[in-house]
Amino acid sequence: MSLSDRRAVAARERSGSLIVVGTGFLVAGQGTAEACVAMSGADRLLHLVSDTPTRLWIEGINPANESLEDAYGEGRVRTESYEEMVMRILGPVRDGLRVCAAFYGHPGVFVYPSHEAIRRARAEGYRARMLPGVSAEDCLFADLGLDPTLAGCRSYEATDFLVRNRPVDPTTALILWQVGAIGVSTYYRKNVWSTGGLAVLAERLVAHYAASHRVIAYTAATLPVCAPSIEEMALAELPDSELSVAATLYVPPAMAAEADPEAVGRLALERAATDAEGAC
């Protein structure tokens, strides 16, 4: 019997399961029907959300719920908190329960515990899957009126963008996540504002864009009565901006990309040939 066959047999023998869902950002408004069914039908519902109204909504969906927020500790390294979350999610799965883990936004975007819990659950023979949710990027596209297909789009975590010297293309849109926590690896309850990190980021960007290039610091709304935070500024003003860890920086293209004449010509020839075949 192959390894995959043995795992399939083990999965059938084990009753525990895991499903990971996202709640979006706008309280119950961005939770999908599929996610709500998973949360309400779970034997144990663990959750990590960003605001009190969403937490209260989740508690009303399923009384067998538990918040993972207390895994964070002031000054505690985030990786330690994430490992605790993974273990707390897997515990009831190993006990044979149907477990649902809910995270705000999309459960697969900037959520290490969700991916790692699914990976370990599957490796141990349990059924585990993830359902899609509304991400901060989805909200950004809608609130700023952007179509990422028009000029293309590059998306990076801000610290990773700097540390790994990610490529910059001024002809396409650039989205940088967690710009208010550049270089920060520990958890703080207060608003994180990494002025030193913002200065380093601005210096890197000015090498590719004019200092006067307009950028947008964006934060999605979490309550129906609130508007999203959309702060436009010149790139040179970025180091003096007070941005929270939830803020995302949108850098629009500075110029249009040039077309490749050879590719244009070849595509035109191929289209003409295709049209001719279709006419026969």
Active site residues: 78, 82, 104
Select from 46, 45, 42 the least CA-distant residue to 98: 42
Provide the pairing of β-strand 44-48 with 65-67.
Answer: parallel
Calpha distance 29→31 (Å, rounded): 6
Max CA-CA distance within the chain?
72
Q: Where are the alpha helices (DSSP H) in the chain?
A: 3-13, 33-40, 52-61, 78-94, 112-123, 136-144, 148-151, 158-163, 195-206, 261-279
- What residue type is 179 in one-letter code? V
> Exposed (0-12), middle (13-18) or buried (19+): which is 144, by Cβ within 10 Å?
middle
Helix (H, G, I), strand (E, B) or coil at 225: coil
Calpha distance 120→105 (Å, rounded): 22
Helices (H) and strands (E) in the chain, counts: 10, 10
CB–CB of 119/140 below 8 Å?
no
